[in-house]
Amino acid sequence: MPLDYEDLVTRATTVFQPRTPITTRDLFAGRWNELMAVVDAVNQIGLHAVIYGERGVGKTSLANVVAPTVYAMDDPSPTAPLNPKGRVIVKTVATTSDTFASVWVKLFKDITLIDDRPVAGFFPGQKGRVSLLEAYGLDSNLSVDDIRRVISNIPNSVFIVDEFDRLQPASMKEFTDLIKTLSDFSVNSTVVLVGVSDTIANLVADHASIVRAISQVFLRRMLPIELRKILTNAEEKLGIHFTDDAARLIVHVSQGLPHYTHLIGLHAVRVAADAYTAPTISRKDVFVALDRATTQAEQSTRNRHSRAIHSSHKDALYRQILLACAVAAAQEQDPLGYFTPSAVIEPLSAILGRLVEIATFNSHLSAFSQLERGNVLERDGQPRAYRFRFQDPMVVPFTFMDAVANGIVDEDHLARLLND
């Protein structure tokens, strides 16, 4: 039967979702150890979890699959009911105007007592239904002790707070106090905090006081094989096939950030469908996809790039050096996206066709991390041991496309640089 290209393009958007967190286990790739760390915290009394990492690394997606994973592990038999232990697992998203108390009001609103039994969800009109706050005679001014008392009566429950970094420091501190209290009283419930941060100290106030009570789940950037799994899932669901060099190119350009794997994967399927070459997706399709993705990139990305490389000298090397940095960033597989100056030597030598040393480009790296060149790079560490990363990861694929478009490298050369 001939492939229905229109149908393929429609179905592709259900598998590749660059801007929507994953909600089902079958589309969730990798992250097994991190998921198990959260599940262990759920199953151990006195232990709670903090999920943290860079923006866009997959924190919400991980938090979303906690509930189905916990249910599946409560009773792994194929005939088990959806939620065998009847657990209450609720999640909310904090906003900048939330307080400690208002976050808990939101969480508790998602729990209903039906004939005195707590159930996750809101059931208007259900007989025997009472709201949790009503049942406990509490107003919205909830204290740490109020919360402890309420959730002591909801055994095995899990409370997930996403975007925790948006709260004011005073509210964050109350969460630390709560976790300490729950742990001291051996309450059989788990609090899971989820937020953007490179370190636990920046997210959890006074974290030293609760180190033994929290499982620190750092989400590093995804590994190449985990990103490859996103493509494999798509291949299975859509009946398509990425050639090896096409898949490698997508994975490298994504720099460990799943958003880009989804974005470029989706564009590549569209390109191959438009050209009637699907179900095979080739490296050429991925290059066109990259071009489309960068053309649609935000103006801010574009501006950052042009500000970084601008020069009145024809033979200034900013463009080449930024390209070499992008190659280094795409290859290093650092948990936080950093690369070292020494990682720039090889790609820059290959781009310029002559051997270079760090001294050749050191001042350019400093310039890239200053305001005049738009802070395109962010610098970290001590003098002599600096590390760099792109502030806006979208500048990386943009740099690749710009280099091809401006004849700095051709497509084959770029693919060779990336695939080492």
Ligand X SMILES: Nc1ncnc2c1ncn2[C@@H]1O[C@H](COP(=O)(O)OP(=O)(O)OP(=O)(O)O)[C@@H](O)[C@H]1O
CA distance 160 to 336: 24
Q: How many residues bind ligand X (CB under 6 A)?
A: 22
The single residue among 41, 52, 251, 258 that binds ligand X, judged by CB under 6 A, is 258
Q: What is the token pair recorded at 237?
A: 């669901």
| Residue 262 binds ligand X (CB under 6 A) | yes
| Residue 30 binds ligand X (CB under 6 A) | yes
Nearer to Mg ion, 53 or 265 (CB): 53
Nearer to ligand X, 32 or 122 (CB): 32
Q: In this structure, what DSSP letter does residue 298 have?
A: -
Nearer to ligand X, 93 or 130 (CB): 93
Question: Radius of gyration of the chain from Cα atoms?
Answer: 25
Nearer to ligand X, 46 or 56 (CB): 56
Tell me the pairing of strands 157-162 and 189-196. parallel
| Residue 394 binds ligand X (CB under 6 A) | no
| Alpha helices (H) along 116-193 | 132-135, 144-152, 169-184
CA distance 322 to 229: 29
> Segment 160-219, which members bind ligand X (CB under 6 A)?
196
CA distance 230 to 236: 10
| Backbone φ, ψ for residue 92 (5° rounding) | -140, 165
CB 403 within 8 A of CB 323: yes
Which residue has the closest beta carbon to ligand X?
58
The single residue among 5, 21, 129, 177 that binds ligand X, judged by CB under 6 A, is 21
**C-alpha 353 chain-centroid distance:** 37
Nearer to ligand X, 197 or 282 (CB): 197
CB 285 to ligand X: min, Å: 20
196 makes contact, choosing from ligand X, Mg ion, none, with CB < 5 to 8 Å by partner type, with: ligand X
Letters for 339-378 (x = contact with ligand X by CB under 6 A, - = none) are ----------------------------------------
Look up tokens 């940095």; give the residue.
325
| Residue 111 binds ligand X (CB under 6 A) | no
Residue whose C-alpha is closest to residue 336's, from 18, 52, 38: 52
User: Is the bond into 169 cis (omega within 30 degrees of 0)?
Assistant: no
| Residue 56 binds ligand X (CB under 6 A) | yes
CB 191 to Mg ion: min, Å: 17
Q: From residue 404, how far is each of 131, 269, 373, 381 by CA, in Å? A: 60, 21, 22, 32
58 makes contact, choosing from ligand X, Mg ion, none, with CB < 5 to 8 Å by partner type, with: ligand X
The single residue among 8, 12, 15, 17 that binds ligand X, judged by CB under 6 A, is 17
Angle between helix 411-419 and 318-332 (nearest 10): 40
The single residue among 41, 42, 49, 59 that binds ligand X, judged by CB under 6 A, is 59
Q: Which residues bind Mg ion (CB under 5 A)?
A: 60
SS3 59: helix
| Residue 267 binds ligand X (CB under 6 A) | no
Q: Which stretch binds ligand X (CB under 6 A): 108-116, 256-264, 392-400, 406-414?
A: 256-264
84 makes contact, choosing from Mg ion, ligand X, none, with CB < 5 to 8 Å by partner type, with: none
Q: What is the token pair recorded at 273?
A: 């469908």
Residues near 302 by beta carbon (within 8 Å), at least 6 away in sequence: 398
Nearer to ligand X, 20 or 370 (CB): 20
The single residue among 5, 9, 11, 18 that binds ligand X, judged by CB under 6 A, is 18
373 makes contact, choosing from Mg ion, ligand X, none, with CB < 5 to 8 Å by partner type, with: none
**C-alpha 365 chain-centroid distance:** 27
CA distance 87 to 155: 8
Residues of this chain that bind ligand X (CB under 6 A): 17-22, 28-31, 55-61, 196, 230, 258-259, 262
